[in-house]
Amino acid sequence: MKLFSYFRSSAAWRVRIALAWKGIDHGQVPVHLLRDGGQQRSESYLRVNPQGLVPALEEGGKVLAQSIAILEYLEETHPQLPLLPADPWRRAEVRAMALAIACDIHPLNNLRVLNYLKGPLGQDAVAVSVWYRHWIAEGLAPLEELARLHGDGKKYLYGNSVTLADVCLVPQVYNARRFGCDLAPYPTLVAVDEYLGTLPAFAAARPEAQPDAE
Amino acid sequence: MKLFSYFRSSAAWRVRIALAWKGIDHGQVPVHLLRDGGQQRSESYLRVNPQGLVPALEEGGKVLAQSIAILEYLEETHPQLPLLPADPWRRAEVRAMALAIACDIHPLNNLRVLNYLKGPLGQDAVAVSVWYRHWIAEGLAPLEELARLHGDGKKYLYGNSVTLADVCLVPQVYNARRFGCDLAPYPTLVAVDEYLGTLPAFAAARPEAQPDAE
């Protein structure tokens, strides 16, 4: 198994957490999202993943894209230390929390979108930063509410163990901090993020622990 | 089972297709995304879904948000006429195609984002339309490639039966047309969309067939 990754990509980071959590042996291929005008747009990478996005997972000569699809695949093929509960409704609640990040926050704030705001739409740095913080607040406020409803308020977003919701939370909180977002309104998310950071699998997946870290 | 829906919402439409496809008996509660400043932002709806988005599925007094989480739930609890293959890798490939729409096209072009571009960012109608078409093209081009690789080129995006990828395709193609996007570069997607439109479950889920259609 080989993961195409960029140390700072939130979506690649999610998959790194799951691989580490489940102890799945794998290699890593760095794809630099800024160098050479974005290596994810290179002809060679587009042959790997026509979407031109990281992560991508290669196994047996075949390639899989989309972090959430990869996470579900790892969960189905490596059920040890499950990241989803057993009950269908509870599984769905966890997925809904993960997707509240993966569909409704992250896609609006990733590199290609910020570049489009700056380039074609001619927005200055202040407007881009206001945009970023707006979607963080729109997304994290209801997630804080769901975490209070479903989690233990301290260690996990949902129930009493690590789930896909936690896997999606950590990279999003890191990026919110990087862009100077105020996290004071989300004490539960901050507490859970802090606890998760103490777990070895989460520590191993952090950007600064990657081979391509800068 | 009760679905909170808006006739034109792509995400609600996906769930309507799956419910019709699997023949799951349910009621519908309309949430008008434009009326009253957006009923999805009303206090009463925010108690249903704190994210303030449709769809939401109510069952046994509990509510589930996020269309993809709902689709996975329906698939797990109503396995008849499956929308995912049996093999884990193939399931993941289908999910990746569905998520290429649900994560990388739709969230950038939905109502709240277009409103933010027009309002706070002060973009005119032309710029908003260029934005819309840009993300459609960014997303549909690789999806066309994946459809040629994985589908039959005529009826289905993946393999030889309806999957979650098809469920996500139809509302996206409809909305692309609504915004005047050129679909000529995606003949496979157009052919598949046309075929799917002939299936009763897909016809029943269309906006104009909904109780709240205008």
pLDDT, tens only, B86-106: 999 999 999 999 999 999 999
Burial B166-186 (b: 16+ CB within 10 A, else e): bbbbbbbbbbbeeeebeeeeb
User: Distance from B96 to chain A by nearest Cα, in Å?
Assistant: 5
CATH number of the domain to which B176 belongs: 1.20.1050.10
B125 pLDDT tier (thresholds 50, 70, 90): very high
Query: Could you tell me if B172 and B100 are in contact, meaning their C-beta atoms sit under 8 angstroms apart?
Result: no
Which chain A residues contact residue B52 at CB under 8 A? 142
Q: Is residue A45 in a domain?
A: yes
Q: Tell me the per-residue pLDDT of B5-42, one tens digit each, with 9 for 90 and over.
A: 999 999 999 999 999 999 999 999 999 999 998 999 99
A92 and B146: CB-CB below 8 Å? Answer: no
Long-range CB contacts (within 8 A, 24+) of A178-187: A179/A109, A179/A129, A179/A132, A179/A133, A179/A136, A180/A129, A180/A133, A181/A132, A181/A133, A181/A136, A181/A137, A182/A133, A183/A140, A185/A137, A185/A140, A185/A141, A185/A144, A186/A140, A186/A141, A186/A143, A186/A144, A187/A144
A76 and B88: CB-CB below 8 Å? Answer: yes
B73 and A52: CB-CB below 8 Å? Answer: no
Q: Tell me the per-residue pLDDT of A133-163, one tens digit each, with 9 for 90 and over.
A: 999 999 999 999 999 999 999 999 999 999 9
R_g of chain A computed on alpha carbons: 17
Which of A33, A50, A80 lies at the terminal end of a domain, its last residue?
A80
Same domain, A15 and A49: yes
Same domain, A76 and A27: yes
| Residue B212 confidence (pLDDT) | 97
List, as one string, the DSSP characters of B150-175: HS-SSS-SSTTS--HHHHHHHHHHHH
Which chain A residues contact residue B127 at CB under 8 A? 121
Same domain, B60 and B39: yes
Integer Cα distance of A81 and A59 in angstroms = 21
Query: Could you tell me if A132 and A175 are in contact, meaning their C-beta atoms sit under 8 angstroms apart?
Result: no
Same domain, B53 and B18: yes
Average pLDDT over residues A10-30: 98
A92 and B108: CB-CB below 8 Å? Answer: no
Q: Is residue A214 in a domain?
A: no
Which chain B residues contact residue A59 at CB under 8 A? 89
A92 and B69: CB-CB below 8 Å? Answer: yes
Q: Is residue B114 in a domain?
A: yes
User: Distance from B107 to chain A by nearest Cα, in Å?
Assistant: 6
Q: Of B128, B98, B126, B100, give the one whose Cα is nearest residue B113.
A: B128
| Residue A166 confidence (pLDDT) | 98
Share of chain A above pLDDT 90, in %: 100
Give the nearest chain B residue to A104 (CA atoms).
Answer: B107
Q: Tell me the per-residue pLDDT of A100-126, one tens digit each, with 9 for 90 and over.
A: 999 999 999 999 999 999 999 999 999
- The domain containing residue B163 runs over which residues? 88-201
CATH number of the domain to which A63 belongs: 3.40.30.10
Same domain, B124 and B157: yes
Give the nearest chain B residue to A99 (CA atoms).
Answer: B66
| Residue A84 confidence (pLDDT) | 98
Which chain A residues contact residue B59 at CB under 8 A? 89
What is the number of domains present in chain B?
Answer: 2
Mean pLDDT score of chain A: 97
Which chain A residues contact residue B76 at CB under 8 A? 88, 91-92
Q: Is residue A118 in a domain?
A: yes
Classify B35 in phi/psi space as left (phi over 0), alpha (psi -120 to 50) or beta: beta
Q: Which residues pair with A28 in a beta bridge?
A: A3
Average pLDDT over residues B179-196: 98
Query: Could you tell me if B157 and B101 are in contact, meaning their C-beta atoms sit under 8 angstroms apart?
Result: no
Q: Is residue A206 in a domain?
A: no
Which of A31, A61, A80 lies at the terminal end of a domain, its last residue?
A80
User: Distance from B194 to chain A by nearest Cα, in Å?
Assistant: 24
A6 pLDDT tier (thresholds 50, 70, 90): very high
Same domain, A152 and A71: no
Same domain, A106 and A72: no
| Residue B202 confidence (pLDDT) | 98
Which of A15, A49, A80 lies at the terminal end of a domain, its last residue?
A80
Cβ neighbours, 10 Å, residue A108: 22
Which ipTM score applies to this complex? 0.97
A53 pLDDT tier (thresholds 50, 70, 90): very high
